Chains A and B, each alone.
Chain A
Amino acid sequence: MKKLLLAFGLIATCLVTAFSQGRSVTGVVTSADENSGIPGVTVVEKGTQNATFTDIDGRYTLSVASDNAVLTFSFIGYVNQDKVVGSEASIDVTLIPDIESLDEAIVMGYGNQKRSKISGAVGTISTKEITSLPVLRTEQALQGRAAGVQVTQNSGQPGSTQSIRIRGTGSLNNAEPLFVVDGIPSGGIDYLNPSDIESISILKDAASAAIYGARGGNGVVLITTKSGSKNQKAQITYESYYGIQEPWKYMALLNAEEYAILMNESRSAGGLTPLAALSNPTALGEGFDWQDEIFERAPMMNHSFSFTNGTAKSSTAIGGSYFTQDGIIGGEKGRFERYTFRVNTRQEAGEKFRTGQNVNFTYLDRSALAENNEFATPVGRALNMDPTTAARRPDGSFAYSEFIDSDIANPANQIALTNDQWVTNRFVGSTFGEYDILSNLKFRSTMSVDLSLGSQTIFNPTYDLGIGPNDPNRPAYEWRETNSLVRGENKWSTWQWENTLDYTKEFQNGDDIQVTAGYSALRSHYTNFYGSRDSLVSNEVEYAYLNNSLNSAEQAPSANGGVSESSFVAQFMRINYSLGNAWSFSGTVRRDGSSRFGANNRYGVFPSLSAAYNLTELPWVAEKDWIDFLKLRGSWGQNGNADGIGNFDYTSLVYNGLNYTFGPDQQQVNGAGPVNTSNPDLKWETVVQTNFGLDADLYKGKLNIVLDYFVKSTNDMLAVVPLPGIVGFSPSATNVASAKNSGVELALNHRNQVGDWNYSIGGNIAFIKNEVTGLGEGGQPISTGNVFGAGDFVSYTEIGMPIAYFYGFETDGIFQTDAEADAYRVYVDQEFVRIQPDAQAGDVRFVDQNGDGVVDGDDKVQIGNPHPDFTYGLNMEVKHKGFDLSLFLQGSHGNDLYNGVFRYDLNTTNLPVSALERWTGEGTSDIHPRISHSDPNQNNRVSDRFIEDGSYMRVKNLQLGYTLPASVLEQMKISKFRVYVAASNLFTFTNYSGLDPEIGSRGTLEIGIDRGFYPSARSFMAGVNITF
């Protein structure tokens, strides 16, 4: 490519030099993002024919008439730049890539479209944005990058999934978008190496996503991997980084002395004598820091190489990578390893036929600790474990707590005992052939396969934290006398065959039409086989094989397996029509059928329409020279969400597990019967979305604005709504519920150059409002989010409110005296009744909302909203000479979190330091109640006391890089060499008291509940990128 340009440039130079006169100016034109010279840049003296091109190193020489001359530098894909010559003899110029180039082809699903013509709402993320920051997972590349795309981690543990919501939570079921990688719908994209990605398009509105019909309802994320381009010289890139992760925050908890004081107080209040072991609190001192025990500094590392090459008739891209990340809890017990290998090739055969192949193999090895529940996670246990107990006894053995039992067992021992590993081998490949039937009519056929083999091993060794054998005081969770092993093999396979016809025609009057029509068939198959044995001879995980069991002692060997299958077929058609440069229209219709839908609703039809008008075509706009481009967009469309439906949800299966046991030998006898009601009407969830948008490029590419307003209604939403109990069988999901999301999204990008300094600032923000509009007959609300510390559900989904808002009691301070508690009364049926008869001084006053004299379920109200008012991302970048500095911020504002970390139901757990501010006498606290073992007033029931503001702003990435100058590299035959240091999650600004405010969802109906969340790490890394 460079050679061609050079040749062209040289010829042109010869031609133009003939006209040259006056004095000459020289200089180098470099690229702002590559820091290397750009060959072939046109340099024109403004208002004349006097021009030249840069050579292979980006150098130019041009004679100009006078000091007043203005030079215009232009090159495709870069923003034009003017320079006044003045007295300078040498003018170096850095061109800024035009990231929002109007001619850029945007991947739209079954074809591309020019950015200037797009009439829907599409967000894009370029390869540069993905590779500029070392993201560990592809989903992370989406976070904060596109307005209206909310990415939250479901856990900070390596390899954990992220929840992605495009334009709000649009379903009570599966609200994740559809991922399509190189045309293949993919469940999960953790198998991708982020460095392999060429581009990501996010189809946000229904009109854009309508081409994916019944599966596009939650939005579509289209990922295209690098495939190289023709006539490209061979290039090898190597990227690597090494980093250290560490926890960035510990929760402030009671130390041993404080714990003892509070426990003694609690027991006294509950009518018990203080425990002897805690009778002298001061002697206990600081005690043991369990958080420090479980957290550690953990390494991570990435190596990635790629090779691209292009000839006149073919191109090849090969990529391989290795990534490993240990957990900040448990280290290698929470390790995630990923090996990827990818080959993408394209060939031309003759004039009319093209073919291509994408082949990807990924090996994933993930060990994981239990996370994000209040029963058995290291985090939950470390926060609740009493500080008077150390992890180990002086002899080195793990200790148990004398004060807490039940779920709160020694977390350090738990980490040591956990052996839970998934090994996945995944092969994803596709091949296509494309044939030009006519010059403007193409036929393309693509066959793809996604095969994933997942092996799971869970080994539970025996252990006993008792002092000596059969210590009767050891709590139930601190010993296990039989080891057990579970081994499972899972196989997922999907094939897809798609055929499309693509017709384009430009009319003489400047109009053009593009028609895409196609047919798609997809079949998925899943099988598994699981076996479990116990009483293994060895207690070591390396000998944990099913054959190694002692049969005589064995309790419960088991084997089971299953199979499931589903299919989709679709026909679709899209017509894009442009009326000159002014109007562009797009219409899509897709008909989808699936085996998952009930017999009465096998097929659905999903239409959409959109239009855009280019205001720059209006004379009064065109004459404003600060406006480069201005476009208004409007779209309407319908699509569906079928991915939350199980394969056989429409029928009532006879389940073979309704067993019972008879006889003295307790023999299990098989029982069988239906469990659910059947639903032959079952179908997709219907999403109807209207979108209005504006795209503007202003000030010669320096400012780019994208503004969108949308209303997205999800109807026929699947909900398992309660049936009258007399039906007996469990209700199956029916298409009864509905929800609405509406919002505004704004993205702004500004780039500029001042002298040698290049900088850019980009930001995006989205305000989204979520509301449930229907929940079926009777509109029975849905309670979810059982928090054990409160002994109740905290999330509530009901009509007219946001999905899964926090629901509980409103508190009104603390009763300062017994008299005050006694005086809290209301007239009911002529009686002046005590509202909280069990309350005394120091207890919480709960608001009796309905004034019926009792605080009960009818008095619960909204106490918080887990949905943010807005989410935002901010990206800043400065470049100077070889240095680059970038800062990426991301945040969420106005969302609440429920702090359900502490197990108040267990009485003796450790507590946050705020417990020290408890009520201890009149006037001591109006916020924190007294501590009582028996808690007769249920001070810890679900209430606004546990709601905290979850807003945060996070410095996701701060990076400083240096690129060696081209002159140095030339001798080494290296075309690019960049080193950098970076920090992730360097600072987090939040008022939340827990370990991490960035808490995702557990399912769709439990959002923002902290049960001892596995926090994300702060990490520091250093890396190198080399291109040969």
Chain B
Amino acid sequence: MNQKTLFSACIVAISLMACKQDFLEIKPLVGASEANFFLNAADAEASIIACYNPLQQEVTNLQGFGQLAPHFRWYFGDIVSDDSFKGGSGDGDEPELLLFENFQGNSTSKLILAEWQAAYRGIAYCNLSINRIPEIDMDPTDKARYIGEAAFLRALWYFNLVTMFGDVPLVLDNLAPSEYQQERSPASVIWAQIELDLEVARQGLPNRSGMSVSQIGRVTRGAATSLLAKAHAYQSEWQACYDMANEVMASGEYFLDPNYSNIFTESGENGPGSIWEIQYMNASGGNWGNQLEGTFTNVFTRARGQFGGYGFNIPEQNFVDEFEANDPRLTATVFQEGDAMGDRGVFSLDATGMPHPYYTKKYFINAGDEAPFGDPNPNGYSNDRMIRYADVILFKAEAAYHLGIEDEAKAAVRMVRDRARGGAEQQFPGVLPNTAVNFATGEALLEMIYHERRVELGLEGHRFFDIVRQGRAATLLGEDGFTSGTHEVFPIPEAEITLSGGLITQNNGY
């Protein structure tokens, strides 16, 4: 029938029009895709910068959960320790942190999930660079350096993981969907990988003195060596720790800033005693959604009320009492009532609206130095002093002590104390005399090393992990609820156990 034929013909014609496939092939017009990346040296450089980028994500957007969660180093390093209390507007402000402070934290906490995710996110970028840069045709020195930087950062993330969680999955490649579920590797395997990566980094990285000023903030050989010393200290491998710390000290790359109180000022950033810092800038217009330029530490640790902060990380009396009389480091570390808080006014309880007598000072910034507009709160410029020369010197002291070289241990402690009082000379009577150090031996000397570490590096996020590795946590934190055999590490995030299909197991006691 004529009509039918015509009708069918039309249908066929319409169907044919649809066969033009490329109408649906639209290339993303902005942004390369995975396929056309890692082609040249510029791509390699950009991929390395992307490895640094997660360092700044101290308030992490939890992947797949759509929530922001902070994971500052001082959350677990200081607040969980005997150095500070949580603070905030009250117990309901970051309640999970209060639970961890009281050793009641559990595996559902978003804070530990944030730690876990932040670390593996950083590792994913490092893995991508480490595995893809070798195939790029480029200058071999630059190539070794890039790979060294990624290896250092990967080691740093695994260091965070192994000290936080103990055994964790070891991921050295970017995963295909079939590989998403992995078991934990023993901590010893993680430590071995950290040492291996840091060796790679030491081979490929330049010395600090070999870098241009504009590059400051990038990882150096000295940073890798220092982190390796630290890694050995955490495993009580004292000879190796001693060797590495000595190498840093012998390098001539670093010296202690003569003025302790200068270290945490803006001009003290990346100073002579700075081995490596996470860099933050005073970004304008930053806010909670755009958090990758400034640090939140400034606002989080500043007093509330007129000081415009959130009042976290409140120094404990016990910590303040640790300072010897007239130790000038106390006033550089802690604000006490009646102190001027920079240009923000004088610290009184009424002005803060809170009952706390102390606030942390190291990451305090003046109102006049804040970014001029945008959300005034979240952006601070203070670099996070990750590895300081004093830290390495005190590792050497600890290592030398354990190796029985007490003289070297004492000399190291003296270096730190000399600087604290502003020079080797005994300028004022009673200000940090070295006499006690000179005569101490055995346990007493070790206690002095521990004391020096606590006051020198106070509120910089080291304390909890230090006392755990030193085996002193149960003694010092037992009253707060610390239980040996459990609280040396934190619980594995419940979500990760679920998502691993049960392959990942929970830590003992959680």
Chain B contacts for A518, CB-based, 8 A: 14
- Contact stretch, chosen from A24-32, A652-660, A703-711: A652-660
* B91 near A857: Cβ-Cβ < 8 Å: no
* A720 near B64: Cβ-Cβ < 8 Å: yes
Q: Is B404 an interface residue (CB 8 A)?
A: no
Chain B contacts for A666, CB-based, 8 A: 279, 281-282, 381
| Distance of A438 from chain B, by nearest CB (Å) | 6
Q: Is A824 an interface residue (CB 8 A)?
A: no
- Against A, the Cβ 8 Å flags (1 = close, 0 = not) of B199-225 are 000000000000001111110000000
How far is B34's CA from A400's CA once the two chains are assembled, in angstroms? 51
Which of B99, B343, B372 touches A555 (beta carbons < 8 Å)?
A: B372
* A727 near B120: Cβ-Cβ < 8 Å: yes
* A730 near B349: Cβ-Cβ < 8 Å: no
- Contact stretch, chosen from B388-396, B422-430, B493-501: B493-501
How far is B3's CA from A862's CA once the two chains are assembled, in angstroms? 63
Q: Is B92 an interface residue (CB 8 A)?
A: yes
Q: A460-B373, A660-B52, A664-B213 are in contact. Are A672 and B308 (CB under 8 A)?
A: no
Q: A671-B49, A728-B123 are in contact. Are A651 and B33 (CB under 8 A)?
A: yes
Q: A438-B6, A672-B43 are in contact. Are A722 and B373 (CB under 8 A)?
A: no
Chain A contacts for B52, CB-based, 8 A: 660, 671
Residue of B nearest to A376 (CB): B375
Residue of A nearest to B35 (CB): A651
Chain A contacts for B124, CB-based, 8 A: 727-729
Chain A contacts for B215, CB-based, 8 A: 662-663
How far is B13's CA from A501's CA once the two chains are assembled, in angstroms? 11
Q: Is B252 an interface residue (CB 8 A)?
A: no
Which of A532, A534, A724, A933 touches B90 (beta carbons < 8 Å)?
A: A933
* A778 near B499: Cβ-Cβ < 8 Å: yes
Which of B25, B120, B216 touches A663 (beta carbons < 8 Å)?
A: B216
Interface residues of A in 204-248 (CB under 8 A from B): none
Chain B CB count within 10 A is highest, among A518, A661, A662, A670, for A661
How far is B66's CA from A780's CA once the two chains are assembled, in angstroms? 13
Q: Is B269 an interface residue (CB 8 A)?
A: yes
Chain B contacts for A567, CB-based, 8 A: 23-24, 26
Q: A472-B344, A665-B214, A721-B64 are in contact. Are A659 and B180 (CB under 8 A)?
A: no
| Distance of A529 from chain B, by nearest CB (Å) | 12
* B214 near A534: Cβ-Cβ < 8 Å: no
How far is B100's CA from A368's CA once the two chains are assembled, in angstroms? 43
Q: Is B255 an interface residue (CB 8 A)?
A: no
Interface residues of B in 363-384 (CB under 8 A from A): 367, 371-374, 376-377, 381
| Distance of B109 from chain A, by nearest CB (Å) | 8
Chain B CB count within 10 A is highest, among A438, A473, A519, A662, for A662
Q: Is A397 an interface residue (CB 8 A)?
A: no
| Distance of B379 from chain A, by nearest CB (Å) | 11
Chain A contacts for B51, CB-based, 8 A: 671
Chain A contacts for B113, CB-based, 8 A: 725
* B306 near A562: Cβ-Cβ < 8 Å: no
Q: A671-B50, A934-B91, A935-B91 are in contact. Are A555 and B106 (CB under 8 A)?
A: no
- Against B, the Cβ 8 Å flags (1 = close, 0 = not) of A549-572 are 000000110000011111101010
Q: Is B56 an interface residue (CB 8 A)?
A: yes
Chain A contacts for B125, CB-based, 8 A: 658, 673, 728
* A791 near B92: Cβ-Cβ < 8 Å: yes
- Contact stretch, chosen from B72-80, B169-177, B405-413, B432-440: B169-177
* A728 near B214: Cβ-Cβ < 8 Å: no
| Distance of A555 from chain B, by nearest CB (Å) | 4
Task: Kindly state the interface size class of chain B when it binds its partner.
Answer: 35 or more
Q: Is B251 an interface residue (CB 8 A)?
A: no
* A724 near B26: Cβ-Cβ < 8 Å: no
Q: Is B67 an interface residue (CB 8 A)?
A: yes
Which of B10, B28, B91, B349 touches A838 (beta carbons < 8 Å)?
A: B91
Q: A473-B345, A726-B182 are in contact. Are A564 and B49 (CB under 8 A)?
A: no
* A521 near B496: Cβ-Cβ < 8 Å: no
Q: A438-B6, A655-B31, A782-B66 are in contact. Are A725 and B493 (CB under 8 A)?
A: yes
Chain A contacts for B53, CB-based, 8 A: 658-660, 671
Q: A651-B28, A726-B169 are in contact. Are A569 and B6 (CB under 8 A)?
A: no
Chain A contacts for B218, CB-based, 8 A: 662
Which of A501, A783, A905 touches B67 (beta carbons < 8 Å)?
A: A783
* A728 near B121: Cβ-Cβ < 8 Å: yes
* A659 near B11: Cβ-Cβ < 8 Å: no
Q: A659-B49, A659-B292, A725-B63 are in contact. Are A654 and B26 (CB under 8 A)?
A: no
| Distance of B505 from chain A, by nearest CB (Å) | 14
* B32 near A724: Cβ-Cβ < 8 Å: no
Residue of B nearest to A858 (CB): B108
Q: Is B360 an interface residue (CB 8 A)?
A: no
* B306 near A563: Cβ-Cβ < 8 Å: no
| Distance of A497 from chain B, by nearest CB (Å) | 10
Interface residues of A in 469-509 (CB under 8 A from B): 472-473, 475-477, 480-484, 499, 501, 503
* B95 near A647: Cβ-Cβ < 8 Å: no
* A673 near B376: Cβ-Cβ < 8 Å: no
Q: Is B297 an interface residue (CB 8 A)?
A: no
Interface residues of A in 101-120 (CB under 8 A from B): none
Residue of B nearest to A778 (CB): B498
How far is B55's CA from A838's CA once the two chains are assembled, in angstroms? 36
- Contact stretch, chosen from A269-277, A335-343, A380-388, A984-992: A269-277
| Distance of B487 from chain A, by nearest CB (Å) | 16
Task: Kindly state the interface size class of chain A when it binds its partner.
Answer: 35 or more
* A482 near B372: Cβ-Cβ < 8 Å: yes
| Distance of A745 from chain B, by nearest CB (Å) | 33
Residue of A nearest to B267 (CB): A664
| Distance of A461 from chain B, by nearest CB (Å) | 10
How far is B53's CA from A661's CA once the two chains are assembled, in angstroms? 9
Residue of A nearest to B2 (CB): A438
| Distance of B508 from chain A, by nearest CB (Å) | 15
Chain B contacts for A438, CB-based, 8 A: 3, 6
* A654 near B31: Cβ-Cβ < 8 Å: yes
Chain A contacts for B499, CB-based, 8 A: 722-725, 777-778, 780
* B34 near A654: Cβ-Cβ < 8 Å: yes
| Distance of B490 from chain A, by nearest CB (Å) | 14
How far is B67's CA from A907's CA once the two chains are assembled, in angstroms? 24
How far is B46's CA from A663's CA once the two chains are assembled, in angstroms? 17
* B33 near A534: Cβ-Cβ < 8 Å: no
- Against B, the Cβ 8 Å flags (1 = close, 0 = not) of A339-359 are 000000000000000000000
How far is B26's CA from A564's CA once the two chains are assembled, in angstroms? 9
How far is B215's CA from A163's CA once the two chains are assembled, in angstroms? 51
Chain B CB count within 10 A is highest, among A728, A730, A777, for A728
Residue of B nearest to A667 (CB): B214
Residue of A nearest to B56 (CB): A660
* A854 near B281: Cβ-Cβ < 8 Å: no
How far is B175's CA from A406's CA once the two chains are assembled, in angstroms? 43
Chain A contacts for B116, CB-based, 8 A: 725
Which of A534, A667, A934 touches B284 (beta carbons < 8 Å)?
A: A534
* A672 near B213: Cβ-Cβ < 8 Å: no
Q: Is A99 an interface residue (CB 8 A)?
A: no
Interface residues of A in 291-319 (CB under 8 A from B): none
A-B contacts, 9 listed (Cβ < 8 Å): A569-B18, A671-B49, A722-B63, A722-B495, A723-B180, A725-B499, A856-B106, A857-B108, A940-B92
Question: 16 more A-B contacts (CB under 8 A) besides A275-B350, A564-B29, A783-B65?
Answer: A472-B306, A563-B30, A660-B56, A662-B279, A663-B214, A674-B128, A725-B499, A728-B121, A728-B127, A728-B175, A783-B66, A854-B106, A856-B106, A905-B92, A935-B92, A941-B92
The 3 closest A-B pairs by CB, nearest first: A728-B124, A671-B49, A722-B64
Q: Which residues of A contact B (CB under 8 A)?
A: 270-273, 275, 405-406, 437-438, 440-441, 443, 460, 472-473, 475-477, 480-484, 499, 501, 503, 515, 517-519, 521, 523, 532, 534, 555-556, 562-567, 569, 571, 573, 591, 593-595, 602, 647-648, 651-656, 658-674, 678, 720-731, 777-778, 780, 782-784, 786, 791, 793, 838, 854, 856-858, 904-908, 932-941
